[in-house]
């Protein structure tokens, strides 16, 4: 195979391994991880010798945990109804260890079980550890794994860490140092489920496999880029976490910066994971810093108030359970940023995320410059034209559309906007299916490297510090069910632009 096309293999089967999920009784394992593992088994993508070990403090036995996970697969899996034969084959290799993550006995029992699985199940010492736990436990569990010899088996070992990767630059660097004292950087997989989505992976194909796009993917032809992640839901039961995080830490600093990097990166010299991640890091390094003094002119934060969602009245954020009545936590944030590179000089990128907005959707829209002010676009013309817009829909209705101008039917020469639309059909794999399989294979393309996380925090730290110094007095409110505060509209209006409606 051409080494430049590494990653394009049709069939990828990982080596035998044992997967250990810490925090396996939690919501993530219930809704995403175990259903994803079942889907991989259903499609024949799991290795021929595979075992799943669940570790948690909840009161389960291996038998009761298997039954609980079967219900999870039936409810949240994408293959319905489940195949009893596939489930039975998977379930007989599912084991549960009840134990405290801070107790040596838990890791001693885990070590004994994994060694037995190596002997009896042929897992060959290959171990995948998934830390589906509170962020405060990540470094401690990793250290325990090393101290009890769980990272020194004869096979490979890999560690999956869920976001958030710290809450600022200092804590992110500390966490990276702690993890790298346990394993090599190549063995650490910082997971961002957005990167496992079919449409996000298609960004690379769209840009680099189509000769019509890459030549015009630059400042001579692109006016600006918008990235929107809109949610209709409120904070729900996550208020405890959300009060500490807020919209920027929860979504912008990680998911949205990854989307930005993929859209703005230069052409990698190959599809090798490190080459792609090198180019993503260069984008983050080229971000023009927003100084604290400039935060108010380049960013907007806000909080949802009472309003309506799907015609039903909903509470404001400060009225939600476990939220302080004086909370200054943002549920909406937008940022105007610049990339100081040859390709993107002069092209603004606008990022927007909010809860309790008018519509749910995640999309990237690339707005091309208008045609010259001649003929159809002249100042005195009766046939004005709009921007051509390439829209990449990440969710829902995953696909790509291109808005262009065409003549309206009839005798008069009238211009109208039309849309070419492509939707990804079929039963696409869930993001966690792709990411778990990639980890078993050892493909880190869709995972975040330590310097990616740190450079992203380097950009957001001044913004978050400025907001913290302002306190709650400058946090505007927006009615639930709208598109956010008027200040967000003003941010673009100052540049004679407006947000695209999803």
Residue 410 shares a structural domain with residue 329: yes
Ranges of H-type helices in 256-366? 257-264, 273-285, 295-298
We report the CATH number of the domain holding residue 12 as 3.40.50.720
Q: Are residues 154 and 230 in the same domain?
A: no
Q: How far is CA 404 from CA 144, 205, 365, 386, 438, in A?
A: 57, 21, 13, 8, 37
Give 48's contacts (C-beta < 8 A, 6+ positions apart).
16
Instruction: Specify if 183 maps to a domain.
Output: no
* Total number of domains constituting the chain: 2
**One domain for residues 35 and 94:** yes
Which two tokens mark 193? 């489920």
What length does the chain have? 502
| CATH number of the domain where residue 410 is located | 3.30.360.10
Measure the CA–CA gap between 159 and 217, rounded to whole angstroms.
Answer: 36
pTM value is 0.90
Boundaries of domain holding 43: 3-162
Residues 271 and 330 both lie in one domain:
yes
Residue 15, SS3 per DSSP: coil
DSSP labels for 168-183?
SHHHHHHHHHHHHTTS
**Domain boundary pick from 162, 186, 208:** 162
186 in a domain, yes or no? Answer: no
Burial label for 142, CB within 10 Å (0-12, 13-18, 19+), is buried
Residues 31 and 107 in one domain: yes
205 and 74 share a domain?
Answer: no
Claim to verify: residue 248 and residue 140 sit in the same structural domain: no
Residue 114 lies in a domain: yes
Is-catalytic flag, 255?
A: yes
**Along the chain (502 residues), what's the average pLDDT of each consecutive run of 10 residues?**
47 86 92 94 92 93 94 91 93 94 94 94 94 91 94 90 90 95 95 85 89 92 97 87 90 94 94 92 97 92 94 93 91 97 97 96 93 64 73 88 78 71 77 93 93 96 92 87 96 94 88
Residues 245 and 385 in one domain: yes
Q: Which of 162, 188, 218 is the last residue of a domain?
A: 162
Region of 164 please: left (phi>0), alpha (psi -120 to 50) or beta. Answer: beta
Measured distance CA(196)–CA(216) in Å, rounded:
27
Q: What is the pLDDT of residue 8?
A: 47
Residue 181 lies in a domain: no
pLDDT the model gives residue 234: 93
Domain identity same for 219 and 149: no
Query: Rounded to an integer, what distance in angstroms lies between the CA atom of residue 193 and that of residue 212?
Result: 29
Residue pair 310/359 in contact (Cβ under 8 Å)? The answer is no
pLDDT at 387: 80
* Residue of 42, 95, 255, 367 with catalytic role: 255
Confidence at residue 378, expressed as pLDDT on a 0 to 100 scale: 58
Same domain (yes/no): 221, 147: no
Chosen domain end from 120, 145, 162 = 162
Q: Which residue has the tokens 């500390």?
A: 174
pLDDT, tens digit, for every residue of 39-70? 999 999 999 899 999 999 998 999 999 999 99
Q: Does some domain include residue 133?
A: yes
Task: Please indicate, yes or no, whether residues 39 and 114 belong to a single structural domain of this protein.
Answer: yes
179 assigned to some structural domain = no
pLDDT at 170: 96
* Any domain includes 229: yes
CA-CA distances (angstroms) from residue 77 to 55, 396, 428?
21, 18, 12
295 and 201 together in one domain: yes
Any idea which residue has 């290959």 for tokens? 126
Residue at 189 is within a domain? no
């Amino acid at each position: 195979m051409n080494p430049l096309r590494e990653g394009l293999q049709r069939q990828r089967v990982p080596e035998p391994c044992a997967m250990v999920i810490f925090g396996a009784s939690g919501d993530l394992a219930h809704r995403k991880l175990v259903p994803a593992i079942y889907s991989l088994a259903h499609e024949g993508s799991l290795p021929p010798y595979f075992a799943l070990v669940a570790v948690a403090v909840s009161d389960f036995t291996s038998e009761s945990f298997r039954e609980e996970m079967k219900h999870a697969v039936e409810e949240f899996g994408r293959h319905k109804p489940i195949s009893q034969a596939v489930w039975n084959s998977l379930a007989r290799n599912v084991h549960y260890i009840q134990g405290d993550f801070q107790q040596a006995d838990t890791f001693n029992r885990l070590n004994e079980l994994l060694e037995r699985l190596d002997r009896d199940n042929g897992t060959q010492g290959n171990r995948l550890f998934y830390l589906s736990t509170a962020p405060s436990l990540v470094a401690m569990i990793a250290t325990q794994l090393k101290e009890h010899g769980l990272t020194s088996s004869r096979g490979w070992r890999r560690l999956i860490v869920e976001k958030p990767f710290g809450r600022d630059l200092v804590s992110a660097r500390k966490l990276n140092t702690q993890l790298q004292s346990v394993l090599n950087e190549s063995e650490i997989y910082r997971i961002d489920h957005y990167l496992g989505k079919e449409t996000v992976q298609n960004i690379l194909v769209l840009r680099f496999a189509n000769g019509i796009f890459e030549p015009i993917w630059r400042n001579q032809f692109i006016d600006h880029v918008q990235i929107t992640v809109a949610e209709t839901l409120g904070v729900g039961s996550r208020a405890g976490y959300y009060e500490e995080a807020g919209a920027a830490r929860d979504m912008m600093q990680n998911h949205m910066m990854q989307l930005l990097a993929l859209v703005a990166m230069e052409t990698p010299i190959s599809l090798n994971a490190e080459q792609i991640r090198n180019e993503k890091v260069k984008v983050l390094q080229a971000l023009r810093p927003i100084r604290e003094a400039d935060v108010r002119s380049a960013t907007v934060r806000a909080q949802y108030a009472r309003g309506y969602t799907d015609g039903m009245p909903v509470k404001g954020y400060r009225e939600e359970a476990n939220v302080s009545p004086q909370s200054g936590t943002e549920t909406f944030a937008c940022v105007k940023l610049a990339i100081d590179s040859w390709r993107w000089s002069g092209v603004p990128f606008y990022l927007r995320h909010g809860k309790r907005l008018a519509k749910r959707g995640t999309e990237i829209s690339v707005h091309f410059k208008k045609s010259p002010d001649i003929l159809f676009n002249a100042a005195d013309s009766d046939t004005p034209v709009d921007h051509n817009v390439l829209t990449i829909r990440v969710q829902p209705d995953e696909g790509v559309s291109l808005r262009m101008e065409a003549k309206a039917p009839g005798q008069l020469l009238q211009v109208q906007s039309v849309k070419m639309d492509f939707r990804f059909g079929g039963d696409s794999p869930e993001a966690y299916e792709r990411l778990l399989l990639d980890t078993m294979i050892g493909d880190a393309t869709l995972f975040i490297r330590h310097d990616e996380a740190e450079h992203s925090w380097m950009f957001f730290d001044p913004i978050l510090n400025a907001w913290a110094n302002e306190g709650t007095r400058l946090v505007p409110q927006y009615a639930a069910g709208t598109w956010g505060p008027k200040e967000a509209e003003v941010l673009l209006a100052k540049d004679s632009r407006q947000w695209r409606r999803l």
